[in-house]
Amino acid sequence: MQVPAPFEYERATSVEHAIALRERLGEEARFIAGGHSLLPMMKLRLANPEYLIDINDLSELFHISEESGEIRIGAMTRHRDLLDSELLAEHFPIFRDAERVIADPVVRNRGTLGGSLCQADPSEDLSAVCTAVDASCVIRSTSGERVVSMSDFHVGPYETAVGDAEMLTEIRIPLKAHAGSAYEKVERRAGDWAVVSAGAAVWMDGDVIADGRVGLAAVGPNTTSIGPVSDALRGVAPSEDLYRRVGEIAAANCSPQTDQRGTAAYKSHLALELTRRSLRRAVARAQGQEA
Amino acid sequence: MTTTEPSPEAVEEERPIGFGRLLRKEDPRLIRGMGKFVDDIQLPGMLHLAILRSPMAHARIVSIDTSAAQALPKVVAVITGADLAEKGLAWMPTLSNDVQAVLATDKVRFQHQEVAFVVAEDRYSARDALELIDVEYERLDPVIDVRTALDADVPVIRDDLEGKTDNHIFDWETGDEAATDAVFDSADVVVSEEIIYPRVHPAPMETCGCIADFERVAGKLTLWCTSQAPHAHRTVYALVTGLPEHKIRLIAPDIGGGFGNKVPIYPGYVCAIVASLVIGKPVKWMEDRTENLVSTGFARDYVMKADIAATKEGKILAVRTDVLADHGAFNGVAAPVKYPAGFFGVFTGSYDLEAAYAKMTAVYTNKAPGGVAYACSFRITEAVYLVERIVDCLAYELGMDPAELRLKNLLKPEQFPYSTKTGWVYDSGNYEPALRKAMEMAGYDELRREQAEKRERGELMGIGVSFFTEAVGAGPRKDMDILGLGMADGCELRIHPTGKAVIRLSVKSQGQGHETTFAQIVAEEIGIPPEDIEVLEGDTDNTPFGLGTYGSRSTPVSGAAAALVTRKVRDKAQIIASGMLEVSVADLEWNKGSFSVKGDPSKSVTIQDIAMRAHGAGDLPEGIEGGLEAQICYNPENLTYPFGAYICVVDVDPGTAVVKVRRFIAVDDCGTQINPMIIEGQVHGGLTDGVGMATMQMIAFDEDGNCLSGSLMDYLIPTALEVPDWETGYTVTPSPHHPIGAKGIGESATVGSPPAVVNAIVDALKPYGVRHADMPLTPSRVWEAMQGNHTPPI
Ligand SMILES: Cc1cc2nc3c(=O)[nH]c(=O)nc-3n(C[C@H](O)[C@H](O)[C@H](O)COP(=O)(O)OP(=O)(O)OC[C@H]3O[C@@H](n4cnc5c(N)ncnc54)[C@H](O)[C@@H]3O)c2cc1C
């Protein structure tokens, strides 16, 4: 049994309470959401927070709803609920694609959207999903709320725009017509972190792509959207040739490292191949050709 | 000797008295969470031990300051190598006549080597105190790449050994070099390949650990321990600690998987014993997952240059190999003493060769020690992988179908008992029907047709064949011992007055179902229902001496002992029955559970009647003592040689190089089947292991010797999602020298499946001109092979 260093624990009763505690206790304190990233790190003593603020009772952070032309998802929404949500499946099937290949049922029952984004692991899947669908993040502090884009949210590996006395409370995804999205992941084994994964979202305008985005995981320090990918997609009719070209752009715009999951060359290749596959499926879905 | 299909009643009957598909007796306990493992045991006043490990692979210890750790509340003791050295306990023997540091005194020789330990009142405090021990290291260059370990300018790892000037451990050879070279020189076709079996780890679900409890007044040490070999371990502890052997009691309770990982003696056990001896209280040490993966017995790690010679028609003539073996920092290989390379000598496989020769050099590197039998029957996994891979390379070069090439070369039934060119005597075999059966189950010709069509369309489908011969049941005491202890097994059977029984064995189940299998063997021989027979193992005070469970030896050795001890009891029962029925012994007939008078079945006594008479007040025949029990020690006359034919079908995604194992057909022959359901379970587990090794597992290091596989996120264990529905089949070719003809099945599938999977993947990549690619065939490594730049997994 791996055992963590000593820490103190408090269960927050409201978002305000949680943020106030965080403000008071400072950088030695951490929120604990699903605990599936934080607890393993604590057991390995890679993370040694002195205080844990449990946010599992904060019911206002558990929701998936449609409001003001957006899909809004509370930070404490569990992987399991993202997987099961019909609302998400209808508008952004990319979530269900991704959730089918994130970890295993045990982890999915506890792990949360907020925890995933705040962990900001370069291999983490939901950041790529949120990047593809152009989500924005709602960050709250005692002085109020601010909304940042995914590219501003990610500051570096394991680093986000959420400050010491702040909390991610919600992510919001704009609803636009004729959307299609899909996620593709290569893993060494079911439940393993991605060797590489790619998420794509497109919004069609008749026969051409009005807008399109791709988010990649595990190919560099950060999951960010790739500007040239969107430039290449906008206003162009979908074709196999386009998918390949965009795949090449994606591969050229990432900086994977060789590790036990694969060589840098292989990962670049996957960036291309999976971008291509996810785009192909996203377009098919936008055109109503595939559920 | 004949080969048969498994008998249908053996396969279907639900409550057999004897052999058959009996539900496992241990399962109600184990699957309800009521098993009792070492970590479940809590003793009054028990303390907890945690080990400080080296962050570096090779470094001199300059100083150790334990004062801050000592000062932490609840800490009872902090012990370093220097403290142990004062007691002469800093070093201990390994199973291969090397020595290993219990705690490092001079320098550390692998990352995560044991440097100091803390004993505290609870596990958390012990772990916290480790953070407070201050060790100053002076870094030394590590030797990580086995291929450079013998270079002139590399550091000498084992400068503790007197006169040691290099990293060489041993050279070993087998077969006839000159004869083999001669065959190669005149052969039509010679194919060579470097084949690597990377370092892997048994990774049992339960990690290793123990509780040492030394009672000062009694002078007796009780050790609850995750041990696959309780009796052998007790003897070693007696030698290490100087405690008399009768004052050591080793108890191995339920064990959550071993696979060879729990054969060696680890420093942690010795630390716990020393702590209890010194403090006089029970001390528990339980590894965490990382400690298990990074410091305990690994397996494989062979770099094998293989050559095969054949005629152009595909008659295999000879196999030759030159092996470089990485044994890590201490030679901790678990194998019989005269077999430093284990049973690698069976690399001649299942074929009729004219000549064979192997030579091996073993070296030290700055990696964790070990080289255990991870479900490999002492290195047969490596041997079978070598020959089955190189046979496929030959098929590739000859343009022959790999199944056809094997059929052409398999040993014929009339050649058994067969003496191989490296001196092994295969007891029985009937190979062709097994391979034909596998091919039929697979629909082999249809699969090849499907593959041809798919190749036309650019799809990648592969079909891999392997045929293996195992050698298990070590072993004849004239040849085989571990640290001088002969590999024979004792066994004792007692029938209680009411006809219930207890059988006591020296082996130790780690999940294999011994409580069921051994009860069935006794039941078959004496007709007492298996549920009336208690199987007792794992307690050295209450079981006879024997060498333990590994190398698939339990059924071949202790299973034979169980059958023979039961026959001995039955012989006595027959004499008592003759008195009870007032006829001569020769006039009695055995009906599995009762003796009756020949020709008059109405006159009979059951074994239960006899048991009561044996313990009762009534008369017994002249010269017969009361009681109904016996003890024997079984010394096997030869190993047993299970075999099997495996076929694997894979699909490879040409775009991502992801491999899907679509089908796996396994035909096994382990001789007489005791419990077909348990056999099936052993096969399923071993096949899953094989898929793991072939496609995802490797204990990897960076060039500084940091272990990169210290968690189950890095060292992957396959799940149900990576494996297909296993398609199993059996033939039954009994062993001629085993009392019930059984051969052992524990490791067949682990031995036979990796080459089948790799052969299938390589076959799928044929359109890319790939003839060989090394495990683990992760998507990245498969893709590399497709690009023509496959790198060795070193
Ligand atoms: C075996 C295993 C396999 C996995 N496989 C995958 C995989 O394939 N793909 C994948 O993407 N992930 C995977 N994960 C990670 C999993 O999805 C985690 O649950 C997730 O990354 C973290 O979510 P959590 O709710 O558990 O966060 P926690 O572990 O509770 O927290 C993570 C971090 O985020 C902070 N935090 C949490 N919530 C907030 C908030 N609202 N505001 C500010 N800070 C916050 C915490 O303080 C902490 O620093 C795996 C995990 C495990 C254990």
ipTM score of complex: 0.96
Query: Distance from A233 to chain B by nearest Cα, in Å?
Result: 22
A262 CB within 8 Å of a chain B CB: yes
Strands B283-286 and B47-53 come out as parallel
The DSSP string of A182-237 is: EEEEEESSTTSPEEEEEEEEEEEETTEEEEEEEEEESSSS---B-HHHHHHHTTB-
Q: How far apart are CA A157 and CA A255, in angstroms?
A: 13
Interface residue A6 vs chain B (CB under 8 A): yes
Residues of B in contact with A269 (CB under 8 A): 783
CB contact under 8 A, A270 and B714: no
Which pair of structure tokens corresponds to residue B64? 């150790």
Q: Which of A17, A25, A31 for a ligand 1 pocket mutation test, highest count of atoms within 8 Å of Cβ?
A: A31
The CA-based angle B572-B573-B579, given to 5 degrees, is 100
Q: Give per-residue pLDDT as tens, A158-214.
A: 999 999 899 999 999 999 999 999 999 999 999 999 999 999 999 999 999 999 999
* b/e B748-757 (16+ beta carbons within 10 angstroms → b): bbbbbbbbbb
Cis (ω within 30 of 0) for the bond into B253?
no
Helix (H) or strand (E) holding B69: helix B67-71
Average pLDDT by stretches of 10, chain B with 794 residues: 72 80 96 96 98 98 98 98 96 92 98 98 97 98 98 97 97 98 98 97 97 97 97 94 96 96 95 97 97 95 98 98 97 90 96 98 96 82 98 98 98 98 98 98 98 98 98 94 93 98 97 97 98 98 96 96 98 98 97 97 97 95 96 97 98 98 98 97 97 97 97 95 97 98 96 98 98 98 96 90
Residues with CB under 6 A from ligand 1: A 30-38, 40, 75, 102-103, 107, 111-112, 114-116, 118-119, 124-126, 162, 167-168, 191, 193
Burial bucket for residue B50 (CB in 10 Å: 0-12, 13-18, 19+): buried
Q: How far is CA B195 from CA A154, B358, B588, B649, in A?
A: 44, 14, 60, 22
Q: How far is B155 from chain A (nearest CA, A)?
A: 27
State the Cα–Cα distance between residues A220 and A23, nearest whole angstrom: 32
- The model carries a pTM of 0.97
What is the DSSP-derived secondary structure letter of residue B739? T
The residue-averaged pLDDT of A118-131 equals 96
Predicted pLDDT of residue B372: 74
What are the phi and psi torsion angles at B489 (to 5°)? -120, 130
Is the separation of the CB atoms in B393 and B762 below 8 Å?
Answer: no
Cβ atoms < 10 Å from Cβ of B617: 6
User: Which tokens sit at B91?
Assistant: 């070093």
Closest residue by CA, ligand 1 atom 32:
A115
Q: Which helix (H) or strand (E) holds B490?
A: strand B489-495
Calculate how close chain B gets to A44, using CA atoms only, in Å.
Answer: 9
User: What distance in angstroms lies between residue B127's CA and the mean position of ligand 1's atoms?
Assistant: 25
Contact of A124 with chain B, judged by CB distance below 8 Å, is answered with no
Question: In ligand 1, which atom is closest to the CA atom of A125?
Answer: 11
- Output A10 or B335, whichever has higher pLDDT: A10
pLDDT of residue A20: 97
Task: Cis check for the bond before A105: say yes or no (omega within 30 of 0).
Answer: no
Integer Cα distance of B324 and B197 in angstroms: 11
pLDDT in the model for residue A222: 74
Nearest CA in chain A to B699: A260
Q: Is A190 on the interface with B (CB under 8 A)?
A: yes
Contact assessment for residue B533 and residue B519, using Cβ atoms and an 8 Å cutoff: yes
d(CA A122, CA B549): 45
Chain B positions in Cβ-Cβ contact with residue A267 (cut-off 8 Å): 780
Tens digits of residue pLDDT in A61-113: 999 999 999 999 999 999 999 999 999 999 999 999 999 999 999 999 999 99
Which pLDDT does position B12 carry in this prediction? 59
Q: Which is it for the CA torsion B135, B139, B144, B150, positive or negative?
A: negative
C-beta separation of B400 from B191 below 8 A: no
Q: What does the alpha-carbon distance between residue B751 and residue B377 come to, in Å, rounded to a whole number? A: 8
HSE-CB at B655 with a 13 A cutoff on CA atoms is: 13
Asked if A263 and B780 come within 8 Å (Cβ–Cβ), the reply is yes
A126 CA: nearest ligand 1 atom = 11
Q: Does A244 touch chain B (CB under 8 A)?
A: no
Contacts of B783 in chain A (CB under 8 A): 262, 266, 269
To test the contact with chain A by mutation, choose from B656, B689, B709, B787 the residue with the greatest count of A C-beta atoms within 10 A, namely B656
CA of B713 to the centre of ligand 1 (A): 15
Query: How high is the pLDDT of residue A221?
Result: 81
Hey, is A24 helix, strand or coil?
helix
Say how far apart CA B380 and CA B553 lie, in whole Å: 14
C-alpha span between B745 and B742 (Å, rounded): 9
- Residue type present at position B586: A
Q: Which residue of A has its CA nearest to B781?
A: A262
Distance of residue A110 Cα from the nearest chain B Cα, in angstroms:
18
